[in-house]
Every structure is written in structure tokens, then in C-alpha cells.
Amino acid sequence: MICVSIGRGRHRHMIAEHKFLAEKDVHLVELRLDYIQGTVQVKRLLKDRPCPAIVTCRRAIDGGRWEDSEEARLVLLRMAIVEGADYIDLEDDIATKIPRYGKTKRIISFHDLHRTPPDLTALHKKLTSMDADIVKIATMANHPMDNLRMLELVRGSKIPTVGICMGDIGMPTRILSGKVGSPFTYATFHHDRVLAPGQLGWQQMRDVYRYDTISAATEIYGVVADPVAHSLSPVVHNAALAAAHKDAVYLPFRVPAEQLDEFIASADRWPLTGLSITIPHKEAVLRHVRVQDDMVKAIGAANTLAFTPAGIAAFNTDATAAVESLEAAIVDKDNETHPEGFGVKKALVLGAGGAARAVAFGLKRQGVDVTVASRTMGRTKLMAMEVGCKAVEWNARYRLPYDCLVNATPVGMHPNVDETPFDKEHLRPYMVIFDTVYNPENTLLIKDARTTGCRIVTGVEMFVRQAAIQFKIWQKCEASQSLMRDALKQATASAKQPV
């Protein structure tokens, strides 16, 4: 069950959101009295409530907004019990001061906004001894292993326990709460209005992560990155998993570089089935793998892991996705295949990072004459040597004619949408312009190319195709690319800050 926390300054807004949520089939809300401005009217909030409510009044030291006295807070909590609140949230230090009364169930809670304490078991034991119906522990995750310790605590507990790690790193615990037996998880009314770090909106929790379908048997996939909050992979993969009726969920795992080894080594404990790997881990992750596909061997970087009984297998789906995207655009535009070959002869790749390397490899394998240009000549030369292509100075990118230009730099990416890595005056109608940036899809470079009359390939195409290849590696069946494309476009269009 998803419990939606409502934090509004005015009673009527809180009541309206409660009503709205109940109409949307939400079965539990948390009324955060500490958000109400002025005198709190508990009776008004609870009278005629459309679905059960937890009443919470959080102090600032626990992450709340209550500014009045502690005495006044305790009075308010007692009033809520007298008014028949379904649940009352009592922090561990006040639990013994407020006795059980009537039918109100007691949630005994503990918060640590800075860390996840080392001995969660002892803490849990202490909280259960305080006449708890439910124990709630919310702590800051500073390490992916904090999540595992929390999930394992909840899984092993006899009393219903909600164990949540806060922050970006802790997000998986919010989504996997039900998998380990929590009675509910917390989400917010809107993903832009979070009440605690790392919280998700209830619609993301319900529609993207399908929280209510996650059980002990659900397979876990995810993207490993740092940072990860901007990643659109969860939106795209979860849409494909849902459409294919897979009992699987795809999570954002924020894993700092120095914690990667421990995270990968802990795969069996989650357990993890497959991972997308992105910045900064694409090369570092290779020290853990047993098998590498040809692309990984050639590029020296992986973007996909599959956890199998025989060990970890690594794949790189970026190069194939880039080539397939180009091929599709060329065939689409000409409405015919190219019997003489790939359809591109000379390509200029801008950038010398992971994406540039994958695209350049893919093009080289198609027999394309590839040149790379980036701002850092040392990096450009190194990549050119490894890929077997030419290198030119960044400022020399306009000097020679190319029939294909690939942007593999972040230039033009949200929020810098008015920037382009290649001036419009140098575009020619015979060129194929491929921008790997996918947020937004219509970058300034793509817009310029379109008005020049060039054939275009957007980063959305490549992103969807690399994800679809990953899906096939893990699920052994095709993903719906059109559905993935729609999910991606909707996410970039509706919210510039995705899940």
C-alpha cells in the first residue's frame, strides 16, 4: 500500500488533497500537522475523512516544520487520538508519554537525517518495546549498503515495520518496501513537493514503479550511476516491463565511484538480475565481470550487466543502437536500402567520451571513415588511436566536408537548449545529423538540421534502441520500442525533472 503524505499550509487544501487521493483509490494518507500554518484544527481534518489517515506532527530535528512548543505538540497528538485518528506517529522519545487509547494504532518512529545507524537491530528492538503496532525507521543513506541493511531488517522483523532510507541513495528502499513485507511505503502528493529527501510522487510510485505489484518474487533491475536522479531509464524500462507483463521492477541506484565494488559484490543479497551501467562506472565495472561481449572487448566499457548463475556478463548496447538508429533514418528518408553499403562514408564525431567512443566504434565497423573532434586534444588523440580513426582539433571541425555529423557532447542538453556544437551555416542538405542528446529531443542542432534539409537522427532513437537491446538481453524477448519511445517523450515533455 502507498501512504501519501500531505503537507499543506491550509486546512482546506489538506482536506481537498485527502479527498482527491481517496477518489484516486489511495487507501492511506499521512496528515502532516506540522505543515499547517496557524492553529491546527485536528477535528476538522479528521471529520468525514474519505480514507484512513496517519496523524503526524514532526519537529524540525526529525525533518519536520513544527515550530511551536513540545508541550503544544503533545497536546495536538493526544487530541488526534481522542478524535479517533486511524494511526498516530509517535517518535521514540515521546512514545511512552502518550499512552494507547481507543482504536488508534501506534506507529513508533525513529529518524536520523544524517546517517543510517550501524546497529539497526538493536534500534528496532527498542522501538518494538514501546507498545508499537507498527515500527517506522527513516534514516539517511550514505552508502548503497545502508539500503540492504534496512531491507534485510524489515524482511526479518516480526512486527510490521516500515524501513526507509532517505536521500537519492536510499530511493530503492522506498520502492522495495513492500517486497520485504512493509505494511506500506510513503510517497508525496506531487514529486516536486517532497516532504523528505528522496521521496517519490505517489503517481510515480504507482504508475512508473507499479509499487502494488511488487512482491518477494519480483525481479530487480536498475540503472547504476552517480548522479542518478536525472536518469530516464526507469521510466523507459518500467514501461516496457509493464507492457510485457513481467514481474520485475527497474530502480535508480545512486552508487558513488568508491562504493561500486561493494555494491556489485552484494548483488545476490538484493538479489539483482540486470543492471544498466552509466557515468562514472562503465569502465570500472569490468573488473567484476566474467564474460564480455565483442563490443565491450572492443570499446573497453560496458553499459549493461546480466547476473547469471555462471557469473556476471557485460554488454555494450550503445554502439549497435547508434548504428541501427542511423540505418533506420537513412532507409526511412530514402525509402530504400543502400545496396552499396551503409549509406554514410565520412563521419565527424564531436566529443571523446563514452558515447563518442561507442558511436565511433559502431561506425568504423560499418566501414565508415571516422574523424573525431573534442576540446581536449589529448583525449581526442587517445580515442582516435584506440578506435582506429582520425583526430582533429575542436576548432578544425568545420574545415573538411563530412556526410555525417554526430554530436556526442552534452552541448544542447537541458537546460542549455540554446547551444549547439556545430554552427548552422556549416550544415549542408546532403548531411545526416545525429544528435545523441535526448533531453530535449529537438535540440538546436536538430532544429537547424531540419531547416537545412538534412536527414536527422535524434538521441531518443539511440536511447530507446540501447534500452530495447538491454531488455532483450535480460528478458529474452523483444521490447515494444514504440511504447518505450512514447514513455521517454512523455517524461521529457511533461517534466524537465524526471524520476
- State the catalytic residues: 111, 136, 282, 318
Asked if residues 33 and 42 have their Cβ atoms less than 8 Å apart, the reply is yes
From 411, 433, 457, 499, residue interacting with ligand NAP (rule: CB under 6 A): 411
Is the CB of 123 or the CB of 404 nearer to ligand NAP? 404
Is 499 an interacting residue with respect to ligand NAP (CB under 6 A)?
no
* Strand (E) or helix (H) holding 407: strand 404-407
Task: For ligand NAP, give the closer residue by CB, 242 or 437.
Answer: 437
Of the candidates 379, 414, 426, 450, which one interacts with ligand NAP according to CB under 6 A?
379
98 vs 75: CA distance, rounded Å: 10
Q: Contact at 8 Å (CB) between 305 and 285?
A: yes
How far apart, in Å, are the Cα atoms of 211 and each of 42, 172, 248, 325? 30, 11, 11, 33
Q: State the amino acid at position 449 in one-letter form.
A: A
Beta strand 346-350 with 369-374 is parallel
Give the DSSP per-residue string, 57-79.
--BGGGT--B-S-HHHHHHHHHH
Region of 476 please: left (phi>0), alpha (psi -120 to 50) or beta: left
- Among residues 15, 224, 437, 468, the one that binds ligand NAP under rule CB under 6 A: 437
Using CB under 6 A as the binding rule, whether residue 355 contacts ligand NAP is answered as yes
253 membership: H or E segment, kind and range: strand 248-254
By CB under 6 A, tell whether 375 contacts ligand NAP: yes
Question: Residue with C-alpha cell 492553529?
Answer: 39
Phi, psi of 217 (to 5 degrees): -85, -10
C-alpha span between 350 and 137 (Å, rounded): 48
Chain CA centroid to CA 471, Å: 17
410 binds ligand NAP (CB under 6 A): yes
| 183 touches ligand NAP by CB under 6 A | no
Residue number of the CB closest to ligand NAP reads 353
> Which of 7, 201, 234, 354 touches ligand NAP (CB under 6 A)?
354
Q: Of 462, 487, 488, 491, which one interacts with ligand NAP (CB under 6 A)?
A: 462
φ, ψ dihedrals at 275, nearest 5°: -135, 140
For residues 193 and 218, the answer to whether their CB atoms sit within 8 Å is no
Among 139, 233, 409, 470, binds ligand NAP (CB under 6 A): 409
Smaller CB separation from ligand NAP, 210 or 414: 414
Q: Are 198 and 167 in contact (CB under 8 A)?
A: yes
State the cell numbers at 446: 536538430
Question: Binding ligand NAP by CB under 6 A: which of 466, 470, 475, 492?
Answer: 466
**SS3 category, 210:** coil
State the binding string over 74-113 for ligand NAP (x if CB under 6 A, else -): ----------------------------------------
Per rule CB under 6 A, is residue 438 in the interface with ligand NAP? yes
Among the listed ranges 68-76, 213-221, 330-338, 372-380, the one in contact with ligand NAP (CB under 6 A) is 372-380
Which range touches ligand NAP (CB under 6 A), out of 23-31, 121-129, 193-201, 433-441? Answer: 433-441
Does the protein bind ligand NAP through residue 459 (CB under 6 A)? yes
Q: Indicate whether 440 belongs to the interface with ligand NAP (CB under 6 A).
A: no
* Binding window for ligand NAP (CB under 6 A); candidates: 48-56, 87-95, 189-197, 352-360: 352-360
What is the residue-wise DSSP string for 278-336? -TT-TTGGGGG-SEE-HHHHHHS--SEEEEETTEEEEE--HHHHHHHHHHHHHHHHHTS
279 binds ligand NAP (CB under 6 A): yes
**Side chain identity, residue 486:** D
Residue closer to ligand NAP by CB (options 204, 466) is: 466
Binding range to ligand NAP, per CB under 6 A, among 112-120, 308-316, 371-379, 447-455:
371-379
Of 28 and 359, which has the nearer Cβ to ligand NAP?
359
Task: Provide the 8-state DSSP code for 104.
Answer: P
Q: How far is CA 104 from the centre of its chain?
A: 36
Interface pick for ligand NAP out of 52, 183, 197, 353 (rule CB under 6 A)? 353
Q: 23: how many CB neighbours lie within 10 A of its CB?
A: 10
- Among residues 165, 296, 356, 445, which is the contact residue for ligand NAP, using CB under 6 A? 356
- Please identify which residue in 5, 161, 204, 374 interacts with ligand NAP, judged by CB under 6 A: 374
Total residues in contact with ligand NAP, by rule CB under 6 A = 25
Residue whose CB is less far from ligand NAP, 77 or 285: 285
Return residues touching ligand NAP (CB under 6 A): 279, 318, 351-356, 374-376, 379, 408-411, 413, 421, 436-438, 459, 462-463, 466
